[in-house]
Amino acid sequence: MRSEEELRGFFAGELREHVEAWRRLPRIRPPNGIDLVALGVAVLFAFATQRSEALWLGAGYLVLRVMYDIRRVQSAFKQEVLSRVFEFALPGVQYQPHSHIGAEHVRRSGLFRESWNDDSGEDYVAGRHGSTDFWFSELTLAKEKKDQRSVVFQGLFFIADFHKSFRGRTYLLPDVAERAFGALGRAAQALRIDGTELVELEDPDFEKRFVCSSTDPLEARYLLSTSMLQRILRIAERSRGALRVSFVDECLYLALPSGDLFQAPFLGGSLDEAALLGFVRELRSVLGLVEELGLNTRIWSKPAPAEARPIR
Amino acid sequence: MHSVWIIGGLLGLFALWMWDVDWKWITAGGVALLALAFNSIVSARNQAEKAWASIDALLTKRFDLIPNLVDAVARYAEHESEALREVTRLRAAAGSAPASAAAAAALDAQTGQALGRLLATAESYPELKASENFQQLQCALNEVEEQLSAARRTYNAAAQHFNDSLRMVPTAWLARLAGMRERPMYEAPAEHAARPDVGARFRAQSR
C-alpha cells in the first residue's frame, strides 16, 4: 500500500486531469425533448381532466430524473477517479464499482442459514495485500415474497485466502439460540442436520457471542487458535451488527454488517485531497482485516499463491 | 449436553405417570432413556479416545520430522551437539509408548523445549537459516506444533465433557455401574509451562 505522501503526489499530478474531467460533467442536465414531452403531457392531462394526480406524476418524473443524474455523476466518479486511486494505492487491485461478490460464493460460504432470494451490491474489490489474496464488496441479501421484502444482510462481504491448509468446513455464527433459551438453546444447537458438529471453544467471551460448528472439530481448533479467537472477537466487538465467519475451501469468509463502503460525491467542489485520502483510508481499513487476522503470516506449509487469482 | 435431554426425558416420564399412562409405556420410556444416557457416556468416552489418538498421531508426526531436522542442522552447526543430542535422545525415548497421559505430556513438553533450543541455533548460522530445506522443515514443524496445540485443546474439551457426564446425575450412576473412570486432562507439568513458542521464534527469524 502506498504512503500518504505518494498518494498526495499522485492526486496533484496524474489524477488531476481525471478529477477535472469529472468536475466538468454536467450535474443536472437541461431538459431534453423526452422530458418536455412527458411534462407537457402531464400538464395537458391535468388541465383536460381537471385532476391534480397528473401533475404529481409529472413531479415524480422530475424527481426520478434528478436521481438518475446524481447516480450518473457518482458512477462516473467511481469509474474514472476512484478506480485510478485504488489502482495507484494498491497496484494490481481490481475495482468494479457496479459488481459484487456473486451469489454462488455467498452460498458456498454457508454464512446465511436464513433463506434469501435476492442479492445486490456494489464496489467489488479484488487483489492481493501482502501475501494474501482478497475479494470483497458491499452486499445486500434479501428475501422477497409477494409484496414483502425483508433484508437478511447488508454490509461488507469479505473473502481472503487463508494462510493454513484445511479440508473441512467451519462456521462461526451468531449465538442466538443460547442467548435466548440458555442451556436448552445450547442443547438444541447440538442437534445438527448440516453434517457438522458443535465445537465448544475455551474462550467464554467468544462462546457468548458465537456458536462454532465444524465438519472436523480438531481442524476447527487448528484454524481457531487462541490468538485467532481474540482477533475475531476484537472485530466482532467493533462491528455494528452480528459478525459471521466461515472457513471453507481454504478461504476465510467474513460478513460484517456496515453502511455504505465508498460513498461517491456529487458536487465537484466537495472533492478535495482529504476526501480522496478518505477513500484510501476506507480501503486500508478493510484490508486491515488481513493484518488483524494475521493472514500475512505465512509460516506454515501452505505457500502463498504465485500470483493473484480470480475468485474461484 | 445430553444431560438436558435426559432430564427432559425424566420430566416427561413423570408427566406420563401423573396422567395415569399405562406402566408398560412408562417402563419402555425409562429403558429407552437409560439406553440414551448410557450411549451418551460411551459416545463422550469415544470422543476423548479419538482426540487422544490424534495427539498420539501428531506426536509421532513431529518425531518423524526430527531426523530430517537434525540432519539439516548438523550439516551447518556441528558444534551445537548438546541440542542435537537432546533432541535425538527424546526421539529415541518416543519409541516406547508413554505409560500415562502425564508422561506423554512431559515428553511432549520436553521435546517442544528441545526443538526450540535446536531452532535457536539457526540464529548463529546464517547459511542454515537461509537453507531452503531448513525453512521447509521449520514450516512443517510449525504446522505440526499448531495441530498439536489444537489436538490438546480438542482432547481436553472431550475429556472435560466425558468427566462432566461422570459427575452429573443420572449419567454418573450408570458410569459407576459400568466401572468407568475419569480421564486425566492433558496438561504440561509446571516446570515445562514456559515452553518456547516455536512459531514465535520462526516469525522472528523470518523478519
Look at A225 and B154 and tell me if their CB atoms are within 8 Å. no
Contact A270, A23 (CB under 8 A): no
> In which band, very low, low, confident or very high, does the pLDDT at A312 lie, cut at 50, 70 and 90?
very low
- The distance of A233 to chain B (nearest Cα, Å) reads 19
pLDDT of residue B193: 44
The shortest CB-CB distance from B4 to any of A184, A198, A301 is to A184
Q: Which three cell numbers stand for residue A175?
A: 449465538
pLDDT of residue A284: 92
pLDDT score of B207 more than 50: no
> In which band, very low, low, confident or very high, does the pLDDT at A306 lie, cut at 50, 70 and 90?
low
* Helices B23-76 and B101-120: angle between axes, nearest 10 degrees: 30
> In which band, very low, low, confident or very high, does the pLDDT at A309 lie, cut at 50, 70 and 90?
low
Look at A221 and B206 and tell me if their CB atoms are within 8 Å. no
- The distance of A302 to chain B (nearest Cα, Å) reads 9
Among the ranges given (A37-46, A273-282, B83-92), the one the predictor scored with the smallest mean pLDDT? B83-92
Q: Where do we find the cell 462481504?
A: A157
The pLDDT tens digits of the residues spanning B19-38 come to 888 889 989 988 998 898 88
pLDDT score of A162 more than 50: yes
Tell me the torsion sign for CA atoms B96, B100, B106, B112: positive
pLDDT of residue A229: 93
Model's pTM, two decimal places? 0.81
Q: Which residues contact A69 (CB under 8 A, 6 or more apart)?
A: A27, A28, A29
| Arithmetic mean of pLDDT over chain B | 81
Report chain B residues whose CB lies below 8 A from the CB of A299: 138-139, 142, 199, 202-203, 206
Look at A299 and B149 and tell me if their CB atoms are within 8 Å. no
| Arithmetic mean of pLDDT over chain A | 89
Residue in chain B closest to A223 (alpha carbons) equals B150
> In which band, very low, low, confident or very high, does the pLDDT at B97 lie, cut at 50, 70 and 90?
low
Look at A183 and B199 and tell me if their CB atoms are within 8 Å. no
Report chain A residues whose CB lies below 8 A from the CB of B54: 218
Look at A190 and B143 and tell me if their CB atoms are within 8 Å. no
What average pLDDT score do residues B154-167 get? 91
Look at A299 and B139 and tell me if their CB atoms are within 8 Å. yes
> In which band, very low, low, confident or very high, does the pLDDT at B206 lie, cut at 50, 70 and 90?
very low
pLDDT of residue B189: 46
pLDDT of residue B191: 42
Look at B154 and A187 and tell me if their CB atoms are within 8 Å. no
User: What is the CATH topology of the domain spanning B2-206?
Assistant: de novo design (two linked rop proteins) (1.20.1440)
Instruction: Report how far residue A124's alpha carbon sits from residue A97's, in angstroms, rounded to the nearest whole number.
Output: 6
What average pLDDT score do residues B43-55 get? 90
Which of A164, A247, A295, A299 is most worth mutating to test chain B (most B CB atoms within 10 A of its CB)? A299
The shortest CB-CB distance from A300 to any of B1, B5, B139 is to B139
**Residues facing residue A214 across a β-bridge:** A170, A197
Report chain B residues whose CB lies below 8 A from the CB of A213: none
pLDDT of residue B139: 86
pLDDT score of B143 more than 90: no
Q: Specify the amino acid at residue A289.
A: L
Look at A219 and B150 and tell me if their CB atoms are within 8 Å. yes
Q: Where are the beta strands (DSSP E) in chain A?
A: 94-96, 118-120, 124-129, 132-145, 148-161, 170-174, 197-199, 210-214, 244-248, 251-257
CB count in 10 Å sphere of residue B152: 21
Look at A299 and B206 and tell me if their CB atoms are within 8 Å. yes
What average pLDDT score do residues B108-122 get? 83
